[in-house]
Amino acid sequence: MNLHGAAALVTGASSGIGAATARKLAREGVMVGLVARRWDRLAALAEEVAAAGGTALVVQADITDPDRAAGAVEEVADSFGRLDILVNSAGVMLLDSALHTPLDEWDRMVDLNVRAMLHVTHAAVPHLIGSASTSPRGVADIVNISSTAGRVARPTSTVYNLTKFGMNGFSEALRQELLPERVRVCLVEPGVVSTELLDHVGDSLRDAARRQVDGVEPLRPEDVADAVAYVVRQERRVAINEILLRAADQTW
């Protein structure tokens, strides 16, 4: 399906999968709202998109704040006159044992990986329903970036697992709710990806985490962005509900 003229909002767009997805969608002719906290990175990405002939809007926002998340959605929808695609890509992974993890790190993961997704999705759904009923595509899309950690639980990732298993259940229930509204919901679950996630792992576990992925050629953010683009390009009669993609050498 031709995506030219559609409008998207991508959270976590300042780096990694979010930035790669924004670039990919812009190349497909989508107007892209770039949402994250780091203004300098968003501005640089918007310049890159514009230089390539695309359209991007920078929205600096801490989406763990429900009012700011709703404001970001309204800003994108008002600027583009519609909202056809939502990509919930913002997230953080903080690994450590339950015995040693500070409670604020658990709270941080729940706030960004779950609550922020809920804030943005809640605000976006009415706009997506409206676009699905009026656009030539006849459909709108929510794509939630989860993880293999939403399928496989491992030591030291207790709350990260909680957030990703929770996202998976939320996405499936939301998919069923929005079927009559022609809003598709897809879950994309990458394995090891070359992003900043491991940079947030505590000093005591960072070396162990890196050893775990040593010898595994990671996915690139662009690989995940390609999967997102594949999902939203489908004709209205087709709904891709779930994509699991692992690095080729990954066993878990």
Residues acting as catalytic residues: 160
Give CB contacts under 8 A, 24+ apart, made by 166-173: 166/114, 167/113, 167/114, 167/117, 170/117, 170/118, 170/144, 171/142, 171/144, 171/146, 172/241
Q: Which of 152, 230, 139 is nearest to 182 (CA)?
A: 139
Give the distance, in angstroms, between the CA of residue 242 and the centroid of all CA atoms in the same chain: 14
Question: In this structure, what are the phi and psi dihedrals at residue 94, rounded to the nearest 5 degrees?
Answer: -120, 110
Strands 85-88 and 140-145: parallel
Amino acid at 243: I
Write the DSSP symbol of residue 186: E
Task: Tell me the C-alpha distance between 103 and 200, whole Å.
Answer: 15
Give the CA dihedral 228, 233, 237, 243, nearest 10 degrees: -20
> Which residues pair with residue 7 across a beta bridge?
31
